[in-house]
Structure formats: structure tokens, C-alpha cells
Structure 1
Amino acid sequence: RLEALEKREDAWRKLEPVFETTIQVNHQPFGNHGLTAGTYFLDDNNLQDLHYCRLPSSPQDNSHWVRFPGHGPAQDWSGLLVSFALAVYEHDLIINVISEIGNQTDMQRHSLDLVLLKFSTGEYHPLARHPRIHVQSSPDAQPGVIPTVLGDSLVLVVGSEENTSLHQLFIFDWKTGHKRLQHETAKEGYSTPVFVSPELLLVPNLALSSFEVWHLPPSDPNTTPPIQILSLQLPAVSHPFSIFGLTCDGGSSPFIRSIPDIVPRPFFPSPENSVIIANLRVETYRRPRSTKYYTLIISRRALLDTIQKLLVSTKPLQWADWGPPISRWFRVAESRGILTSTSAGQRCTLLFPHTHGRSTVGVVDFNPHNFRRNAEGEDNGGNGRMEEGKFDHEGRFSEEVYMGLKCVVYNAPDEYDFDAVLMDEERLLGVKVSTFENDIDFLPPLINIESA
């Protein structure tokens, strides 16, 4: 195990692929996707099915797409697959968010429901008391839904087509079906929630340019519901710029595993030591081509410690009061829609802008041992560079943005025309989106990094 770990670490430092391959997508995707447990998930433009592909670990592996019905074992189903959440490592679980006409006598009302399925069999999940959980009834046939799951908790951010001034935050115990929270917020307020720990939830609030911290007590119908305990502000934006996009990713490392590994690993990264990613789009309507894309990376362990220290605060905390010591900023290449950067343990992958529309694939490593080793010139042929402590935001923010979280950045030797790049413990997955007559095609080239 130690030898396998050392080989993996050395391969990530050099970023020299063991092999590269391209996986053709043979169906028409709608746009939602996910990568976990060595498996890439992609929805379908028919809004009925998921498809997944187990990614190869060697050039000899034959990857192919498998259809996974969005409705599960149900035979007579005419609804839409709106979104999905993955907890494959933890519970062998896929939660599909579906919408269908709730009552044939009222064709204007649509029922938004959760279908809880066991990934390995496609059957209803045996740990779910109710394999189908009702969320809400509304006029929206296809609401925007962003789900995430950890432990027993399932979190949903639900937007409304009918009432664009309304966003809602739902929290369920998926095992019992108990609805723990239904909270309303401002128009386009919330986006992708991230678990800092099983008890703490980070919810980006675009309307307030902040992160809300919510506490989730142990799930029990008699306990108090989840409550917001902190508001952490982003740096103030300079006039006339605004933050028009704010999404997060917390990686797929589980805090609790109740099943054996789907894909055996010599070593599993500690989730407490992992990082949280926030992707920002800053622009102004007054200046064409003024858009800048930034990625903010926060140490999960340091954020946990910071939250514990700041619990006494009853007002929004300014960026300078919480952010600089535990964060690192990067300017990144333009992203396409829902495609955002991802992380695995103490590493994350970013696309850095380059010439002629191409990008440099970078892996940012926050492991203290690795950046100390790089600083001392003991990185065994790695191509890492150390980052400075002050972010050049080109005047987009009205305050100096300092960064205390140390890291080393490794760049792949070649340039790529990816629209996004994802990662897990052993590989990078570059995604290319091509558009033609309003169609979207995903062409994911796979770069296997871990040494065989």
C-alpha cells in the first residue's frame, strides 16, 4: 500500500499521463453530470434516463455506456428527470429528482419528488423507508434543482420558473423521508450547497455575495430544525462590477462509508483535510468582454476551525475577518454552463487561460508535505510552482485580497481545448462540449495520471 501511495504521489507531481484516451458519448445529453467512484454520470436529453461509464484504469480497459432508468423499477412513468445526486461511495445511492403531473384532474400542478435507488442494482434503496419522497407541488414542470447528499442528509436548492423571485432550500433525512427544513430566499439567491462536515452546510448566496453557514443537528423529528449560524462575506466588488455567478464544489470524498469500496484504493484521502471550491463570474454590462472567472479554494479543516471560533458573531462577517488565512484565489479559463472545477482530497484541478482559446490544465496541491518539498527542491522532477500571497484581481474588487493558504501548482505539459476538467483519485477527465443546432455533445477525453 505504501509503495502504491508513493507511486501515485509521484505521478501527480509530474503530471505525466500513463495513458490518454477519448470516450465518445453516444447519446444526446441534457447537461447534468457527475464523477464519483471511478464512474462518470451523464443525463439524457430525453429527460428520462441517466447513463454512466466506468472509467478505465489502463489502456486495456474497455469503457462503455450503461443506461440507468431515471424512474427506477417503476414501469408506467411519464415524468421528467430534473437532476440527480450521488452517494455511491457512502451508500451505493443515487437520488433522482423527478417531476410529473401530480393529479390528472389538475394538469397545471406538477409534483416534484425524489426517487432513492441502489446504484449497483437499479432497485429502490433498502435503507430508504420511503423509496419515493414528495418535495412540493407547483406549476413548474421543470424547476431548477441542485441536490447534494451526505450521511443521512439530502439538501435541495429549488428554483421556480413560474415565480422567479423565489428560491427554496430543502433539507430531508432521506432514510426516514422526514422534511427537516423548507426555507425561502431571494431571487436567484442560492446555488450549489456543500457540506463542510456532516453537521455543517455551506450555502452560497449570490444575492448577498456571501456564504451562509447552516447547522444541522442530529436528525430526529423531535430535535430543532437546521438553522443558519453565520454569514461569511466575499470581498467587496468594485463599481460597476457585480458577481453574476457563484457555484461551489466540495468533492466526493465521504465522511462515512457504510459499504465496501466500489473501486478498491490503496489509500483514501481524508475528507477533513480536503478543500472546498467556489467558482465566481465577475462582470459588468457597461464594458463588453469584461468578464473574469475566478476560483476561490478554501481549506475544509481551517474553515471548520474558523466557524467554531466565530460562532458568537450575530452579523455578517467581512471577508478580511475570516477569509485570507484559509483561502487561495486563481484566475481561471471561461467555463461552460454547469461545468465547474472539481477536487479530490487536498488536490483540485483548474483550467488556466492560454492563447487561441486553449487552456493549460493545472492541478493545485494543498498538502503541506508537498509544498514544503517543492520549496526545498525535493519534488523528484515535478514541475510545481509556488503561489504568492496577494491576488491580482485586476480591479474587480474594492479591497486587497490576501491569501494565506499555501499550495503548489503542477501544470500538464500539453495544452487542451477542454470546456471543463474533472478529477478523482487517479485521473483527470477533460470535457469538451460542442454545440450544433442547439444540440450539446459531450466528448470526454480521459487522462489517466496514477501510475499503474
Structure 2
Amino acid sequence: MLLLLPPEILARVLLFLELPDLMRMHQVHSNLRQYIQSFHILQYHIATQSAFIEDNPNSSLPISERLELLKKREEGWARCNIDFRRVIRLEHQPGDDLDVLTDGIYLSGDEDGHNLHYVQLPSKPEDPIEWRTIDIQKPVVEVGLSVLEHDLLAALTSDQYVYEVQLLQLSTGKAHPRAQLATLFVRDKSEENMFQRVGIEIAGVNLVLIGARHESFDHELDRDYVYMFDWTSGELKLKFDVPASTYCNIIFLTPELVLLPNSDDFVLDIWAIPPRSSASMSLPTAPVSERENPPAPLVSLALPQLSPIYRVFNIYCSAKPNPTASSTPPAENTASYASKLFRTAPRDTLIICNMLVRAFPGPIIEQRCMLWTMFLRRADVLAAFTKVTGGQWTKDGWLQDGQWKTPDNTEFGSGSSGGDLYTSAVATVKVAYESWGVDITRWLGSMWHPSWVTTNAGTRCVYPLAHDFERLFVLDFNPYTVRRSKHENTVRDGGIVTGFPFAQPFSGKLAYTYTDIPWEEQEGSWEGDEDKWQDSFLLMDEEILLEVRNSNVFKHITARICGNDLHDAYHPQELIDVIARVAHQLAEDDELVRHVVFELCAGSDTRRPGGSTSLQRRS
């Protein structure tokens, strides 16, 4: 009966199928296979699901063109084909630590510390480069961005007295129209409670901020502070503090659940964000250690046990893009949203946790330093959480009946319930690594390299598998990509991890496929090592590899124009004009100069045969 339907209606019916079911029908029924091959909308449906992509329904581009662009993007990443390269000179004197790349926007601070500068990175070689500046009028400590969902810039500022979060519309630089309060008060400031490290993440209406206070004379004062706001209403839903070096970064699992990697206990804590404040969820001012019923995470996922002489100093984590609230309209007025055809579904993105491990005792200079990176997928963590909680978690953020009841499941540890979720000492369910992590994590380790931290976006990351850090690899953890790449001998299925710093062997079986990107040394003559590029680092977006370089003494520029790597639409004379303008500017400026080098990965059809795919350092 199904095949008697008109083809157009049948195609719409098939759109309701998930990818595995659709592919089974493609393999076993010739008529259905013909339908699938004939309708671009079905092919696009398959392509988006296999790439874990969310489509932008407001895009005016035809489905056939979107399908072609998506195929080119996926092929480009699979083969590391660079569509084009451009070098951009920053039009401001950059600061030290503020560099953000998300949703096609690169943002950095300046030397003054009161201004933020950002640029929409082009998707085509002929796209213009336009830097914009937002005057914050106070020293900026850290920023959080929600470009596509809210057109939101959240800037943590500090003056002599207070820490505050300014809520601005990125496209205008003015107070965000959806924020009832333009500024969120965080805490008073003094010499005794200054933040040394801050993290900000946004999902839906929730904004989570972590501020760490370290290195005080009285170590009892060293605490990490966690704040959970509804940024639209200005309401502080929950705040608490924990011992120093406990929390450093935030990963949203859903707009209501956050994953906080715990360096102190070496676990992954999953916290609930309250849906609202109430009299029963008052916000006490006493430190957590002095409260009768401090807040607690719902679940703690244990990581492999460390040997006694080793300690994890910090766990830096990242996952892009963040989840969005389905009830929240996207920021359709932004150029970034209008130009975005698709992005990785937040649920399926890769989470990376970079862990700095040191051995004790002994002087710091003699301590062995290692960088271990754990890879896992957001969907797998959510599945483990659902299994642990027995499905008691509801979409509005509350457990059933407002109570936490530990599942009767000895496989995942034990705990007892008690009282309201946010005001009572709820028993955290602790889950052994062997019960949750063996099949869904992957571990890679190396001796610590001070200029390298793994960067990621979507299902991919860039990682230096070679110990000399001169070769970079794109690692893709998309299971469909891994399955297709089995015959190419580029798949690593995981195995047993042994040796320091771990107390005993363990397994991490999450598979990935990799592609080599040569990372060549800087060419040219230099007067000394101190004149070479300093503080080079790499950022990654879903379509961009962005290399940021600093130079202590920068006297000239050398641009490598590789015809094989350039888009045909970019006329050589335009490149000559650009180089001439930049060279003229540099001749008049001997101060510290910073450049951004970004590379757009697209399809190989825009490249001539035999082109280099190397990501080269430029003088």
C-alpha cells in the first residue's frame, strides 16, 4: 500500500524515518532506492543525519544547493582539502588571553582591556573583512557568546569594587533587548577575593559562570564559585562555592543540565540548573562548608584512578556548539545566522577534556608534566545519565515529584534520597568508570607542550598525534564517518591504556578516523630564537581552522600564494593589492603585530589536482 502513494507524498513519509531505517529500505527495496535517489530532499535528509547536522529552515537556498555544499564540506574535512587561505592583520593592539572563535565569529580583546573587537570570517574568498569594536568601558575579564541563538555577548567586567556581567547584543553593541537587566551583579571585589580564572557558557535562558580564586596567603580563602543565572530575567537561580581547583570549565549537556569536570576528585559532576528560585530554594551567603544542606551534583561519573604520586591540576573542556532551547527563537537578524546553512546538532557534538597532570613530590621544575585528553560525545554522556537516573529526569528540569530517588541499580553505585533537590544534602549517585566510560571514551596522552591545547568543533578536533608537534591531525568521532573509513586504514578503534599516571590499566574504546595535516616549520632567516613567532595557537570552528600568531619583532610579511589552494573566483590582482596594502602598513608599524590565519575547509572540486593541503607557518 505504501508504494501506491504518489511519489511526492511517499518522499514526505520517508522523511520521518531515522537514518538506520532509511538505509535499510534503500538496501532491500529497489523502488524505494529509486525514490531516495530521485528526491534531493531525501538525499539531503540522509546527508544531514549522517553528518549529525541541523538544517537552517530559514535559509532561502534550494535543497539541491544545500546538499551539494554539505557534501563538499564533509569531503573537504575528510581529505583536509583547503578551499582558500587568507591572512588578516588585526586592526587593534591585542590583549593576552581573550580569543574566541564560534559560529564564524572571531573575537579578541585589546591591550587597553576595555574594548572587544570581532570579525565575521568570510565563507568565500571575495567576502570583505570588516572589524567591529564594542566599547565595554570597564576592564573585561572573560566573555561568553551565544551568536546564533540569541545574538548575545556576555562580558564579565571588573572595576575597583564589583564583578558584573554586561549583557549586550553582539550585532549592535548595545544592551540586549531580551535582558530585563542590562547588568548582572556577580559579587563584590577586593584583594582577598579576586578571580584568577573565569569560565562563562550560555544555553537557552541559562548562563553559568565559574570564578576561581587561587594563590591567596590564606588557602582557606581559595575557592571556586559557581553562579547560575537566567540572563533574560536577571534571576540568580543558584550559587555555591567549592574548594579551589575543583571546577574550571562548563559543558552544557542540555539547557537544564551542566557537566562540570572536577579536578579535585577526578570525576565528571552533572548538575541541575533550577527552573526558578523560590522561598524553598533560598540563596544562602554562608560558604558551602558551613551550610547544613549544601547543594550537590546529581551524578558523579568517576574517571580512571590515578597513582598516588600524580595529581590533576586542571581539566579544561570544550564542546561546540552549545545546546539551544527549542522554545527560543534564533537570532535571525544577525548576518551570522543568515549565512549559516547548517551546523552540527548540539546533542551529537564532541566533548574534549584536556587534563594537566603532574607528579609529586619534588620541586615544580623537576615534576613530570603530562597532558592527557579524554574524548567523549555529548549524546553518550546524556544516555549514561538517563540510565543512571532511571528516567526520573524530566524535560523541564525537575525530578519526579520534586524528589531525588536513587535508582535501584547496583551497577551504577548507590545513594539515598532526601528532601528537596536544591536545598537538601542530596545523595550524589557515584558511577564507577568501568560502568559508564569504557565504550564511550577515548584517551590520548603526551608530554605537555605549553603552546598546545586540543581544539574542537562539531564531531571533530585537531590533535598532534606526533610527539614533535610538527604534524597535526583532524580526528573525526562521527560513527558513520568511522564506519565508512574502515577500508582506508585511518580508523583507530581504541584499546587499553597503561602506565603513568594511572594506577591500573583501563580501556577507552570510542573509535575515530584521522586525516594528516603537515605542520611545517617557519621558513626564512631569523636573528635569534627570540625573534620567532611566539604564542602561536590554533582555534577551530565547524568550517574553519584559525591560526593566531604573535611576533616579538615583526619586520616583514611573506605571503605564499598557492594556486592549487585558492578558490578560482579570487583574482590574483586582488591578492597583490591586499599584500601591498598590508606590507605598507607593516612598514610603518614596528610594534607588536598579530595576525589571524584562517583556512576554510570545503570541497575538493574547487582545487586543482596535486595541490598541497599543508597548514604552513607564515613569516
Q: Please classify the TM superposition score into its range, dividing by the shorter chain length.
A: 0.7 to 0.9
> 1:372 and 2:431 equivalent?
no
> 1:11 and 2:76 equivalent?
yes
Q: Which deviates more from structure 2 when the two are superposed, residues 442-451 or residues 187-196?
A: 442-451
Instruction: Give the aligned partner of residue 146 of structure 2.
Output: 87
> Which residue identity lines up with residue 298 of structure 1 in the other structure?
L
Instruction: Give the aligned partner of residue 321 of structure 1.
Output: 435
1:320 aligned counterpart, secondary structure: helix
How many Å apart are 1:343 and its aligned residue?
Answer: 2.5
How many Å apart are 1:395 and its aligned residue?
Answer: 2.3
How many Å apart are 1:96 and its aligned residue?
Answer: 0.7
CA contact (8 A) 1:85 1:147 kept: yes
CA contact (8 A) 1:16 1:412 kept: no
Instruction: Give the aligned partner of residue 153 of structure 1.
Output: 206
How many Å apart are 1:46 and its aligned residue?
Answer: 1.5
Q: Deviations over 1:118-150 (max 9, x none)?
A: 011111000000111111113148523211111
> Which residue identity lines up with residue 446 of structure 1 in the other structure?
F
Residues in 2 aligned to 1:80 and 1:224: alpha-carbon distance in whole angstroms: 33
> 1:429 and 2:546 equivalent?
yes
Q: How does 1:55-70 map to 2 (within 5 A)?
A: 55-70=121-136
1:324 aligned counterpart, secondary structure: coil
How many Å apart are 1:57 and its aligned residue?
Answer: 2.3
CA contact (8 A) 1:335 1:420 kept: no
1:262 aligned counterpart, secondary structure: helix
One of 452, 455, 458 as aligned partner of 1:342: 455
Q: Deviations over 1:35-62 (max 9, x none)?
A: 1121111112312111112223233334
One of 71, 81, 98 as aligned partner of 1:32: 98
Instruction: Give the aligned partner of residue 274 of structure 1.
Output: 349
> 1:411 and 2:480 equivalent?
no
Over 3 Å counting, the alpha-carbon distance change for 1:82 and 1:142 in structure 2 is: farther
> Which residue identity lines up with residue 348 of structure 1 in the other structure?
C
> Which residue identity lines up with residue 359 of structure 1 in the other structure?
E
How many Å apart are 1:224 and its aligned residue?
Answer: 5.2
CA contact (8 A) 1:332 1:351 kept: no
Instruction: Give the aligned partner of residue 249 of structure 1.
Output: 318
Residues in 2 aligned to 1:373 and 1:423: alpha-carbon distance in whole angstroms: 24
1:352 aligned counterpart, secondary structure: coil
Over 3 Å counting, the alpha-carbon distance change for 1:31 and 1:117 in structure 2 is: same
- Residue identity over aligned pairs, in percent, reads 27
Over 3 Å counting, the alpha-carbon distance change for 1:129 and 1:335 in structure 2 is: farther
Residues in 1 aligned to 2:129 and 2:194: alpha-carbon distance in whole angstroms: 32
How many Å apart are 1:404 and its aligned residue?
Answer: 2.2
CA contact (8 A) 1:360 1:416 kept: no
Residues in 1 aligned to 2:449 and 2:251: alpha-carbon distance in whole angstroms: 20
1:9 aligned counterpart, secondary structure: helix
Over 3 Å counting, the alpha-carbon distance change for 1:342 and 1:253 in structure 2 is: farther
Q: How does 1:91-102 map to 2 (within 5 A)?
A: 91-101=150-160
1:32 aligned counterpart, secondary structure: strand
One of 445, 451, 464 as aligned partner of 1:331: 445
Over 3 Å counting, the alpha-carbon distance change for 1:43 and 1:353 in structure 2 is: farther
CA contact (8 A) 2:202 2:322 kept: no
Scaled by the length of structure 2, the TM-score of the pair is: 0.64
Instruction: Give the aligned partner of residue 447 of structure 1.
Output: 599
Residues in 1 aligned to 2:498 and 2:171: alpha-carbon distance in whole angstroms: 46
> Which residue identity lines up with residue 41 of structure 1 in the other structure?
L
Of structures 1 and 2, the larger Rg is shown by 2
Q: Deviations over 1:298-327 (max 9, x none)?
A: 111111010111233435323222211111
2:434 aligned counterpart, secondary structure: helix
How many Å apart are 1:335 and its aligned residue?
Answer: 5.2
How many Å apart are 1:442 and its aligned residue?
Answer: 4.9
Q: Deviations over 1:348-395 (max 9, x none)?
A: 22233443xx43222211222211111034xxxxxx711142254542
CA contact (8 A) 2:258 2:272 kept: yes
CA contact (8 A) 2:238 2:273 kept: no
Size of the aligned set, in residue pairs, is 426
Residues in 1 aligned to 2:142 and 2:544: alpha-carbon distance in whole angstroms: 25
CA contact (8 A) 2:237 2:273 kept: no
5+ long unaligned stretches in structure 2: 1-65, 283-294, 390-405, 407-413, 416-428, 523-534, 554-590, 607-619
One of 26, 37, 49 as aligned partner of 2:115: 49
Over 3 Å counting, the alpha-carbon distance change for 1:441 and 1:221 in structure 2 is: farther
Residues in 2 aligned to 1:91 and 1:282: alpha-carbon distance in whole angstroms: 37
How many Å apart are 1:235 and its aligned residue?
Answer: 1.4
> 1:288 and 2:357 equivalent?
no
How many Å apart are 1:112 and its aligned residue?
Answer: 0.8
Instruction: Give the aligned partner of residue 201 of structure 1.
Output: 258
> Which residue identity lines up with residue 84 of structure 1 in the other structure?
V
Instruction: Give the aligned partner of residue 386 of structure 2.
Output: 308
How many Å apart are 1:66 and its aligned residue?
Answer: 2.5
How many Å apart are 1:233 and its aligned residue?
Answer: 2.0
What value does the CA root-mean-square deviation take over the aligned residues? Answer: 2.7
> Which residue identity lines up with residue 162 of structure 2 in the other structure?
S
Q: Deviations over 1:62-119 (max 9, x none)?
A: 4353222124xxxxxxx32111110111100001111123xxxxxxxx1111110001
1:19 aligned counterpart, secondary structure: strand
Residues in 1 aligned to 2:520 and 2:505: alpha-carbon distance in whole angstroms: 31
Residues in 2 aligned to 1:263 and 1:209: alpha-carbon distance in whole angstroms: 42
Q: How does 1:186-197 map to 2 (within 5 A)?
A: 186-197=243-254
CA contact (8 A) 1:328 1:405 kept: yes
Over 3 Å counting, the alpha-carbon distance change for 1:332 and 1:424 in structure 2 is: farther
Q: How does 1:96-245 map to 2 (within 5 A)?
A: 96-101=155-160, 110-140=161-191, 143=195, 144-160=197-213, 164-219=221-276, 221=278, 228-245=297-314
1:444 aligned counterpart, secondary structure: strand
Residues in 2 aligned to 1:447 and 1:223: alpha-carbon distance in whole angstroms: 52
2:465 aligned counterpart, secondary structure: strand
How many Å apart are 1:242 and its aligned residue?
Answer: 1.7
Residues in 2 aligned to 1:369 and 1:44: alpha-carbon distance in whole angstroms: 42
Q: Deviations over 1:404-447 (max 9, x none)?
A: 222211221444688432221211112335568xx987543212
1:63 aligned counterpart, secondary structure: coil
Residues in 1 aligned to 2:385 and 2:472: alpha-carbon distance in whole angstroms: 32
Instruction: Give the aligned partner of residue 106 of structure 1.
Output: none
Q: Which deviates more from structure 2 when the two are superposed, residues 225-234 or residues 31-40?
A: 225-234
Over 3 Å counting, the alpha-carbon distance change for 1:248 and 1:435 in structure 2 is: farther
CA contact (8 A) 1:20 1:445 kept: yes
> 1:401 and 2:476 equivalent?
no
> 1:385 and 2:490 equivalent?
yes
2:464 aligned counterpart, secondary structure: strand
Q: Which deviates more from structure 2 when the two are superposed, residues 279-288 or residues 227-236?
A: 279-288
CA contact (8 A) 1:38 1:263 kept: no
5+ long unaligned stretches in structure 1: 72-78, 102-109, 378-383
Over 3 Å counting, the alpha-carbon distance change for 1:295 and 1:224 in structure 2 is: same
Q: Deviations over 1:266-307 (max 9, x none)?
A: 332111111111001122254837222121111111110101
Residues in 2 aligned to 1:330 and 1:120: alpha-carbon distance in whole angstroms: 39
Over 3 Å counting, the alpha-carbon distance change for 1:170 and 1:341 in structure 2 is: same
